[in-house]
Structure 1
Amino acid sequence: MSSSPNTRETFRLHMGWLHSWLGLLAGLVLTCIFATGTLSVFDTEITHWMQPEIPLTAPPTLTAPALTHAATLLQNDEAKGTFPFLLLPSRRDPVLRVLNYNGHAFIGPALAADGHIFPARQTAGGQFFFNFHFTLYSGVFVGSTLVCLLGLLLLVVAGAGIAIHIKALWPNLVVVRPFAAKPRAWLDAHLLTGVLFFPFLIMITYTGTVILARAIFPTHPFVQHHIATSLPQKSRPRVAPSAKPSPIPPLLPLVEQAKTLLHTSDCRFILFSSTEIQIFENDEDTLFANKSTAIFSRADGHFLRVEEKNSASAQARGLMQGLHFARFSSFLLRWLYFASGLACTTMMAAGLVLFFIKRRKHSSRHIAFRLGEGLTMSTITGLTAATLSYFLANRLLPSTLPARTGPETATFFMVWAFFSVHALLYSLLHRPINGWRIQCLAVVILSLSLPCIDLFTITHDWLNNYGLYCSVYALAFLCATIAFIAHQKLKEKI
Structure 2
Amino acid sequence: MRETLRVHMGWLHSWVGFLAGLLLACIFASGTLAVFDTEITQWMQPEVPLTQGTSLTPAALQAAAQAVQAEEEKGLSAFLTLPLQRDPVLRVLHYDGYEFVGTALDSTTGAVFPARETAGGQFFYNFHFSLRGGNQPGVQIVTFLGLCLLVAIGSGLVIHIKALWPDLILFRPFGARPRAWVDAHLIVGVLFLPFITFMGYTGTAIHARALLPAEPFFPSHTAAPHKKEKTAPKGHVLQAGPLPPPLAPLIAQARDVLRSPDGNLILFTPDEVRIFKSDAFGPFLTRDHVDFSRKDGHSLRSATQSPPAVATMQLVRGLHYARYAPLPLRWLYFLSGLAATTLAASGLVVFLMKRRRSSGEQFFFRLVEVLTMTTVVGFPTATLGIFWANRCLPVVFSGRAMMEIDLFFLVWGLCAAHALLVSLTRHAASGWRQQLGVLAGAGCGLPLLDLVSRSHAWAQGASVFMTADALAFLTGLIALCALLKLREPAA
Partner of 1:311: 307
Partner of 1:58: 52
TM-score by length of 1: 0.95
Deviation (angstroms), 1:426:
1.0
Question: Is 1:96 aligned to 2:90, yes or no?
Answer: yes
Question: Is 1:239 aligned to 2:233, yes or no?
Answer: no
Mapped contact 2:225–2:232 kept (Cα < 8 A): no
Question: Is 1:176 aligned to 2:171, yes or no?
Answer: yes
Mapped contact 1:223–1:236 kept (Cα < 8 A): no
Mapped contact 1:288–1:318 kept (Cα < 8 A): yes
Alignment of 1:44-443 (within 5 A): 44-112=38-106, 113-214=108-209, 218-219=215-216, 222-224=219-221, 227-233=225-231, 235=233, 238-240=236-238, 245-443=241-439
Partner of 1:42: 36
Unaligned runs of 5+ in 2: none
Letter in 2 for 1:353: V
**C-alpha distance in 2, partners of 1:262/1:387?**
39
Deviation (angstroms), 1:221:
5.5
Letter in 2 for 1:99: L
Structure 2 counterpart SS, 1:488: helix
Q: 1:471 aligns with which of 446, 467, 470?
A: 467
**Per-residue Cα deviation, 1:55-82 (whole angstroms, up to 9, x for no partner):** 1111112221111111111111111111
Deviation (angstroms), 1:236:
5.5
Mapped contact 1:87–1:268 kept (Cα < 8 A): yes
Mapped contact 1:103–1:233 kept (Cα < 8 A): no
What is the percentage of aligned positions where both structures have the same residue?
Answer: 48
Partner of 1:4: none
Structure 2 counterpart SS, 1:108: strand
**C-alpha distance in 1, partners of 2:224/2:359?**
46
TM-score by length of 2: 0.96
**C-alpha distance in 2, partners of 1:219/1:421?**
38
Deviation (angstroms), 1:24:
0.8
Deviation (angstroms), 1:266:
2.4
Mapped contact 1:450–1:476 kept (Cα < 8 A): yes
**Per-residue Cα deviation, 1:247-276 (whole angstroms, up to 9, x for no partner):** 311111111110111122124210111111
Cα gap change, 1:270 to 1:226, in 2 (>3 Å): closer
Structure 2 counterpart SS, 1:261: helix
Question: Is 1:10 aligned to 2:7, yes or no?
Answer: no
Deviation (angstroms), 1:229:
4.7
Structure 1 counterpart SS, 2:92: strand
Letter in 1 for 2:398: P
Cα gap change, 1:393 to 1:115, in 2 (>3 Å): same
Mapped contact 1:39–1:126 kept (Cα < 8 A): yes
**C-alpha distance in 2, partners of 1:226/1:166?**
46
Mapped contact 1:80–1:241 kept (Cα < 8 A): no
Pairwise CA RMSD:
1.5
Mapped contact 1:258–1:279 kept (Cα < 8 A): yes
Deviation (angstroms), 1:233:
4.2
Mapped contact 1:287–1:319 kept (Cα < 8 A): yes
Deviation (angstroms), 1:464:
2.6
Mapped contact 2:445–2:473 kept (Cα < 8 A): no
Letter in 2 for 1:187: V
**Per-residue Cα deviation, 1:114-144 (whole angstroms, up to 9, x for no partner):** 1100111111200000000011011122100
Structure 1 counterpart SS, 2:133: coil
Cα gap change, 1:216 to 1:259, in 2 (>3 Å): farther
Structure 2 counterpart SS, 1:227: coil
**C-alpha distance in 1, partners of 2:355/2:139?**
33
Deviation (angstroms), 1:100:
1.2
